[in-house]
Amino acid sequence: MDKVVASAGEAVADIPDGVTIAVGGFGLVGIPEILITALLEQGATDLETVSNNCGTDGFGLGLLLEKGRIRRTISSYVGSNKEFARQYLSGELEVELTPQGTLAERLRAGGAGIPAFFTPAGVGTAVEEGGLPLRYDGHGHIAAASEPKETREFDGKTYVLERGITADYALVHAWKGDRHGNLVYRASARNFNPPAAASGRITIAQVEHLVEPGELDPNEIHTPGIHVQRVVHVGPVEVGIENRTVRA
């Protein structure tokens, strides 16, 4: 029952090339940055990541991106990352753009064992009709595009079918966690971490504060330990500022 491992390096040591990894966080908040850095040092490549955004330049998943370790990503927001844009437009990176709420639900559904669901998000757009650029050829032409999706009408309204996501691994950041893997997220760091944690077949959590079993109020636990296989105590983590604005 004790799921604590000694270091981030040990926690990610067995992640092989070519796997799908769901990663929690939103912008710079709730990013499992220490686990990502450990994965960078570990060397796994040809990865498919599932995350709201693929990091920023020089931070989070942006570190793996800069080293060419990510082959494909499923994301909803890809701004503020020049290297991401360069790789996407040059044909080095395949990108599946997904509406933000749909992405959260796809992860949640995968974690709940739900293979697919119908949603109104994207109906009447390229999300439903297909044609979204997945990959460019480096010369401004689309090399691969999304396929049309199945639709169905419920109570006179059209919905589009979306597949749940089950990842091989998941990396998440929590404020508190116990040795059984129960996790508590703090404020806005709760974001994509709970659905990402649920979607992973092997979920690894970095926690700022490690407590003993029984110390967490059951009513405050956001991710039950049944979803978590490994816990790494990393201590307090400072949250960066993505866009600093100061008065002239």
User: Which residues make Cβ contacts (< 8 Å) with residue 89, sequence separation at least 6?
Assistant: 136, 138, 140
Q: What is the mean pLDDT of residues 188-216?
A: 96
Query: Could you tell me what percent of the chain has a pLDDT over 90?
Result: 87
pLDDT category at 55 given cuts 50, 70, 90 is: confident
DSSP β-bridge partners for residue 111: none
Q: Which two tokens stand for residue 7?
A: 């270091």
Q: What is the pLDDT of residues 158-179, one digit of tens each?
A: 999 999 999 999 999 999 999 9
In this predicted structure, the answer to whether residue 234 has a pLDDT above a threshold of 90 is yes
How far is residue 132's CA from residue 145's CA, in Å, rounded to a whole number? 5
Q: What is the pLDDT of residues 2-17, one digit of tens each?
A: 999 999 999 999 999 9
- pLDDT averaged over every residue in the chain: 95
pLDDT of residue 153: 98
pLDDT of residue 236: 92
How far is residue 53's CA from residue 73's CA, in Å, rounded to a whole number? 9
Cβ atoms of 171 and 36 closer than 8 Å: yes
Pairing between β-strand 116-119 and β-strand 94-97 as defined by DSSP bridges: unpaired
Q: What is the mean pLDDT of residues 195-211?
A: 97
pLDDT category at 68 given cuts 50, 70, 90 is: very high
